[in-house]
Chain A
Amino acid sequence: MPDDRIAEWALGLVKHDVRAFKRARARFLRQPSAKRLHDLRTTARRLRCVHEDLEGAVSPFSLKRLRHVIELTGDARDAAILRETLRDALDVRERRAARHLLRALRRRERIALKRIAVALNGLGSPHP
């Protein structure tokens, strides 16, 4: 085990990221938006990274559900960004041909957003 100073420092960093994640989760559940989805995804990934970096210095905790949230936020984010990118690049003559893909992306985003809400409600506390 690393010395106490390292353990204390590591725990402080983990707690900081847990608090940020909890805030982002509460905001997203209150009123989902693209910005809040981005914040939720970023804080969840930061929390996963701090755990990976300092694994040996803090007491172990399960990342299984957090990973699930990250995966779902990735689906929603990808669908939204791909739709926006496609719209920006779309040639006016190909608008009709792109309609189906744009609709499918919108549907994918909506489904992912619903799943995120369900996953977040069942998440509980991500760390002691």
Chain B
Amino acid sequence: MKARQIDLSDACGVDDAMRRVAIVRFAEVLTLVPALRHGRSKDLHNLRIACKRLRYALERFTPREPSLLEAASRLSQLQDALGDLHDRDLLLAGMPKDLHVTAQRVRMQREDALARARALWRDAFAPYGPFEGLMRFTGLGYGFGDGVAGA
């Protein structure tokens, strides 16, 4: 999934530029998060990429905006869970048909990773949770959480 372009041409100072980047990258994540509910591989992969972009941006900004640190750390955990899931999807796609028992184990590991990702997402929006600072900084994400990923 291609990253959306960010217009910084009329940004008023560094803080405003950081906010614009964070808003666009967080919006990309929020758009893709229904993937956690339906569990489709391709969409989950795109969500993982979007989480990574947002996390990298936030990590760059934390020296000036420490309130983003917790969100960056939660995104890293989420990215790990989605990465585990993606690895299992790749493995299952290339696995010979006669590896029945092994494939069943890998499918279970995939379900565990998905459950972990859903829990991490849901919990991120709790009051005073890891996304609190990010939501305040961007003005986005209110109303997300339980309703979106509560599968």
Q: Are A49 and B7 in contact (CB under 8 A)?
A: no
Q: Mark B98-117, 1 if CB is under 8 A from A, else 0.
A: 11111001100100000000
Task: Select which of A55, A85, A97 is within 8 A of B96 by beta carbon.
Answer: A97
Q: Mark A99-114, 1 if CB is under 8 A from B, else 0.
A: 0110000000000000
Q: Are A6 and B8 in contact (CB under 8 A)?
A: yes
Q: Are A6 and B109 in contact (CB under 8 A)?
A: no
Taking the closest CB of chain B, its distance from the CB of A34, in whole angstroms, is: 15
Q: A57–B20 Cα gap in the complex (Å)? A: 13
Q: Are B91 and A86 in contact (CB under 8 A)?
A: yes
Q: Which residues of B contact A98 (CB under 8 A)?
A: 96, 99, 102
Q: How many A-B residue pairs have CB under 8 A?
A: 95
Q: A47–B63 Cα gap in the complex (Å)? A: 18
Task: Select which of A2, A9, A52, A78 is within 8 A of B53 by beta carbon.
Answer: A52
Q: Is A54 at the interface (CB under 8 A from chain B)?
A: yes
Q: Is B52 at the interface (CB under 8 A from chain A)?
A: yes
- Interface hits, B72-126 → A, CB 8 Å: 87-88, 90-91, 94-96, 98-102, 105-106, 109
Taking the closest CB of chain A, its distance from the CB of B116, in whole angstroms, is: 16
Q: Which residues of A contact B17 (CB under 8 A)?
A: 2, 6, 9-10, 54, 57
Q: Which residues of A contact B48 (CB under 8 A)?
A: none
Q: Are A91 and B91 in contact (CB under 8 A)?
A: no
Q: Which residues of A contact B31 (CB under 8 A)?
A: none
Q: Which residues of A contact B99 (CB under 8 A)?
A: 90-91, 94, 97-98
Q: Is B151 at the interface (CB under 8 A from chain A)?
A: no
Q: Is A115 at the interface (CB under 8 A from chain B)?
A: no
Q: A10–B53 Cα gap in the complex (Å)? A: 16
Q: A5–B16 Cα gap in the complex (Å)? A: 11
Q: What is the predominant secondary structure among interface residues of chain A facing chain B? A: helix
Most chain A CB within a 10 A radius of its CB, from B8, B57, B87, B95: B8
Taking the closest CB of chain B, its distance from the CB of A5, in whole angstroms, is: 6
Of chain B, the residue at the smallest CB distance from A96 is B98
- Residues on B lying within 8 angstroms of A by beta carbon are 3, 5-14, 17, 21, 25, 52-53, 56-57, 60, 87-88, 90-91, 94-96, 98-102, 105-106, 109
- Residues on A lying within 8 angstroms of B by beta carbon are 1-3, 5-6, 9-10, 13, 45-46, 49-50, 52-57, 78, 81-82, 85-86, 89-91, 93-94, 97-98, 100-101
Give me the 6 closest cross-chain CB pairs, A-B, nearest first: A91-B101, A52-B3, A89-B105, A49-B56, A56-B8, A97-B98
7 contacts between A and B (CB under 8 A): A45-B56, A50-B56, A53-B60, A85-B91, A86-B106, A89-B105, A91-B99
